[in-house]
């Protein structure tokens, strides 16, 4: 039986200042989005659980998500935030060892003015500290940062990385050039996985069709291989562009021609292995 895991979702108690990235056109998610809201959706679609990923860059976010995880068994893992550039990074990582469900960390690199922040000495020192504690790292970037990401992962061949949202290509404009070459270069590194997540928000929110995503998914599956690609809904952000059911349908539609073993890897096996759930 396939154990299904949603490898990428978020929870928050909405704060208009902290969550300023949620614009007026995203009004459907300008609200509290909490475990009791997601649980019935996962249950309806046969998911055994999920991995919640940070959306605020603070250690208070870790406390909030770890409390959620402690209270709800379906939350199998937490990807938190820590200041990777801090002088005391080793001490902070050691502190988090007490929380079994904390699996890794992420920084919102896509929003940084310094597009190559991930290559600065302090940031790389932080990345270098993750391995000794068994933590993963989620790479959240835009296409213009893919080349920096390839350089980063090459520096840490024993560190497990996963690319979020297939690096948010320009799906609305149906542009593959540049992104495809850089995705293939990143995927050539054996320590990198990829989440098929967050794509619908890069398409035309109200008019996308499954066919719009096929060229991008073809590249991702060919480059990474079926054993390194995992499903993530990006709930509740996916609600602004069709919702959970449509995001799920898009993935099911694409995976239809894959073997049962490959589908099992995509829907849960790869996420379970990567995050050690």
pLDDT at 11: 98
Phi, psi of 9, rounded to the nearest 5 degrees: -150, 170
Q: Tell me which fold the domain 4-275 belongs to.
A: TIM Barrel (3.20.20)
Residue 134 tokens read as 């068994």
Tens of pLDDT, residue by residue over 19-31, are 999 999 999 999 9
Phi, psi of 150, rounded to the nearest 5 degrees: -65, -40
Task: Please report, for the chain, the start and end positions of each structural domain, with discontinuous segments joined by +.
Answer: 4-275
**Does residue 2 surpass a pLDDT of 80?**
no
> If pLDDT is split at 50, 70 and 90, which confidence band does 162 have?
very high
**Does residue 1 surpass a pLDDT of 90?**
no
Whether this prediction's pTM lies above 0.85 is answered by yes
- E-strand ranges in the chain read 4-9, 47-53, 75-80, 102-107, 136-139, 161-163, 192-196, 229-231
pLDDT, mean of residues 98-123 = 98
> If pLDDT is split at 50, 70 and 90, which confidence band does 94 have?
very high
């Amino acid at each position: 039986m396939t154990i299904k895991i949603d490898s990428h979702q978020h929870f928050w108690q909405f704060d208009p200042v902290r969550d300023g990235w949620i614009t007026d056109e995203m009004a459907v998610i300008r609200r509290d989005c909490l475990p009791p809201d997601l649980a019935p959706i996962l249950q309806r679609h046969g998911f055994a659980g999920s991995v919640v990923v940070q959306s605020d860059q603070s250690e208070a976010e870790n406390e909030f998500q770890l409390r959620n995880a402690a209270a709800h068994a379906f939350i199998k893992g937490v990807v938190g935030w820590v200041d990777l550039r801090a002088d005391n990074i080793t001490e902070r990582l050691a502190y988090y060892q007490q929380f079994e469900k904390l699996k890794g960390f992420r920084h919102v690199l896509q929003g940084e003015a310094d597009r190559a922040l991930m290559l600065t000495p302090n940031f790389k020192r932080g990345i270098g500290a993750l391995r000794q504690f068994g933590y993963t790292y989620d790479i959240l970037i835009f296409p213009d940062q893919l080349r920096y990401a390839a350089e980063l992962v090459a520096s840490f061949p024993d560190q497990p990385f996963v690319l979020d949202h297939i690096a948010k290509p320009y799906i609305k404009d149906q542009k593959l050039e540049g992104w495809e070459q850089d995705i293939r270069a990143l995927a050539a590194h054996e320590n990198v996985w990829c989440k098929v997540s967050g794509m619908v928000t890069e398409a035309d929110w109200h008019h996308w069709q499954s066919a719009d995503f096929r060229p991008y998914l073809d590249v991702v599956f060919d480059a990474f291989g079926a054993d390194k690609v995992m499903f993530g809904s990006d709930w509740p952000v996916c609600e602004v562009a069709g919702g959970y059911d449509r995001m799920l349908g898009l993935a099911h539609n694409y995976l239809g021609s894959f073997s049962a073993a490959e589908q099992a890897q995509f829907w849960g096996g790869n996420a379970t292995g990567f995050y050690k759930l």
